[in-house]
Amino acid sequence: MRRADTFVGSAWRATALYAILAIATTWPLVLHLTRSLPIDQGDSLLNCWILSWNADHLLAWFWGNKAAFQDYWSPPIFHPAPLALAYSEHLFAESLQIAPIYALTHNIFLCYNLLVLSTYVLSALGTYLLARELTGDARAAWVAGACYGFALVRLPQLTHLQVLSSQWMPFVLYGLRRYFTRLRADPLGWASVALVLQNLSCGYYLVFFAPFVMLYCLYEIADRRLWTSVRVWVSLAISAGLVGGVTWIFLKPYLMLRALGFEPRSLAELQSFSADVLAFMTAAPTSRLWGWLQTFPRGEGEQFPGLVTPLLAAIGIGTSWVSLARATALHTEPDPGRRRVTVVLLSLAAVYAAAGTLAAVTGDASWRVGGIRMALHDQWRVWGPAVLLASAGLVLSRRARAFVRGVPDSALGFFAGAALLAAVLATGPVPTVGGRETLLPSPYAQLYWHVPGYDGLRVPARHGMILALSLSVVAGYGARFLLRRGRPGRTAVATLALLFLAESTGAPIGLDQVLQSPGWGIPRAVGLGDDTPDVYRFVSTLPAGASLLELPFGTPAWDVQCLFYEQAHHRPIVNGYSGGSPSWYGAMTDALAVVGSNPALAWSALERSGASHVIVHRRGYLGRRAADRVEAFLSAHGARMIRASGDDRVYALPPS
């Protein structure tokens, strides 16, 4: 049977299968698309609010309001702080995707859930197209697409839409591959569009993915010997300029925050959100097959890729290595003496490299072997000689040079190297093993100090998605090798595919789990439309100049709901929930938490907030007496209750 005749030879049929898998992986989300959110109502609510804010502005602009984006970067949260949208991801690309559906339904839960499902399908489809272009085998490409689209690393990110939104990365590489193969402008143009969409989907990938795009272009130029092609360099420069110009529009507000006192992320903060080396043996607790594998659990530390993808990747690398060794065997050395010297040089280089690796991983540069103490005081004392010896071996041996150069038109080596680089970068500025610092090299630290953007991102571990993409492409080569072995190989691939689906799912996933803040009451799950609390319906009737402060204040479980319901009443709120906050927010949180013990401080903070009305959520306090104390405090300072609705009270504050 010809390859084109296979069922997954059509991208449409491949996509349909991915869609079915996406529904199964996130089950029972598909049954609750219009009324529930996956996992919890924390960051998901923040992202829903951002999406609705964007969509409202897009639709207003579409219907002719040319000033629709005038206040775009300064939404009415953390009032009156400017540029509050830039405290988190702006999700503009995702908002473009949902704009038509939002215009028809105004159901932000539906839009959000469709986006979540689309990240699975589009990630798989993009990788399928890329792997099909590279391997020439649609069946192997479908396996590669599944490996990335449903990678195990996605499971702990189900509440982070921006992290799931990595679907445009394979499309970028696919477009670039077709451009270098055909040297036509249209695939480069589509690659540029995909890169813009990726940049506007997630700030992490804007920064983290850019070096890999550059390295891939250099690989293709070197592999095809295009160094002197003016046409190629001009085309790439124009593409980079256009992508950079569009991206800059959305980058500038983030840079402006620095002028308002927002400091770079500290190395200590980055270190706490870096992947420990043992993270690659730690799975998401929600994995049905691997949830028990908790080797070294920590925040953003679940990087275990499962067994199937690494196994297929190992097969791809191993078989390519054998083929390459056979190909380069033709380049035998005519001089036996030169061959022996080359073997000695490369063997010594391997010994030095092994010693350096051992010292780096263990964090101990001294050992006793057979009663003899060996010490290493400087990493360069091993890595320097290792590089020099290996270089000398390459200079002497034609066969070694041919082996390193590789087979023309094979990108497997690039993606294997990209996977290794992404894994190293994921470990952050100071790689650790079990929480203990090592002497492993840290390119991330150099990027932090010398490349703009890296000092503003706090989670180096999110390189794990680039690792998953690179590893999945290499896995496609392994699947191709097996599929070409006849029926036994096809049976092996089918078995591995079933195992992969079992190890990559967390279904049935949780829905609408409400955040809890220790020391405070638990809010109810949010709702849309008729389920919007009556207090917010009332607030929407307040004068246009009214501004709100909601109590409890500064408590994530309640602040995120205050933020979400802003879209129901459209009044400025002093509360906020995001990846950052204004400099005064922490002090105001502390002041409003001591209403009983220091009412003067609390009232002073309330006056400085500029709020005209206060909403008291009595449910947010532990016990009736605590809630009564807050209301008594407001009444004692002249506040007047103007609405009581269930557990909620609205107070009008006296003019300051």
Q: Would you tell me how many other CB atoms lie within 10 Å of the CB of residue 92? A: 20
Give mean pLDDT, residues 250-269: 90
Closest CA relative to residue 149, chosen from 127, 177, 116, 174: 127
Encode pLDDT of 520-571 as tens digits.
999 999 989 888 999 999 999 999 899 999 999 999 999 999 999 999 999 9
Tokens of residue 334, six digits: 């005519």
Q: What is the pLDDT of residue 594?
A: 86
Could you tell me if 450 and 429 are in contact, meaning their C-beta atoms sit under 8 angstroms apart?
no
Identify whether the C-beta of residue 185 lies closer than 8 Å to the C-beta of residue 235: yes
Whole-number pLDDT of residue 75: 96
Q: What is the pTM of this model?
A: 0.90
Strand-pair category, 548-551 with 613-617: parallel
pLDDT score for 372: 58
What is the 3 state secondary structure string of 574-617?
A: CCCCCCCCCCCHHHHHHHHCCCCCCHHHHHHHHHHHCCCEEEEE
* pLDDT (tens digit per residue) in 107-157: 999 999 999 999 999 999 999 999 999 999 999 999 999 999 999 999 999
Q: How far is CA 533 from CA 400, 437, 611, in A?
A: 72, 50, 21
Give the model's pLDDT for residue 380: 60
Helix (H) or strand (E) holding 12: helix 11-25
> Beta partners for 511?
38
Is the predicted pLDDT of residue 326 greater than 90, yes or no?
Answer: no
Q: What pLDDT band is residue 321 in, cutting at 50, 70 and 90?
A: confident
Question: Which pLDDT score, from 0 to 100, does residue 51 have?
Answer: 98
347 vs 35: which has the higher pLDDT: 35
DSSP letters spanning 379-446: THHHHHHHHHHHHHHHHH-HHHHHHHH--TT--HHHHHHHHHHHHHHHT-SS-EETTEE-----HHHH
Confidence band, pLDDT 50/70/90 cuts, at residue 238: very high
At 476 the pLDDT is: 96
User: What does the block give as tokens for 309?
Assistant: 């993808």
pLDDT of 253 strictly over 90? yes
- Confidence at residue 1, expressed as pLDDT on a 0 to 100 scale: 43
pLDDT at position 480? 95
Tell me the per-residue pLDDT of 151-195, one tens digit each, with 9 for 90 and over: 999 999 999 999 999 999 999 999 999 999 999 999 999 999 999
**What count of residues does the chain have?**
656
**Ranges of each domain in the chain:** 159-259, 334-396, 529-652
Cα 616 to Cα 56: distance, rounded to the nearest angstrom: 28
- 267-281: average pLDDT: 92
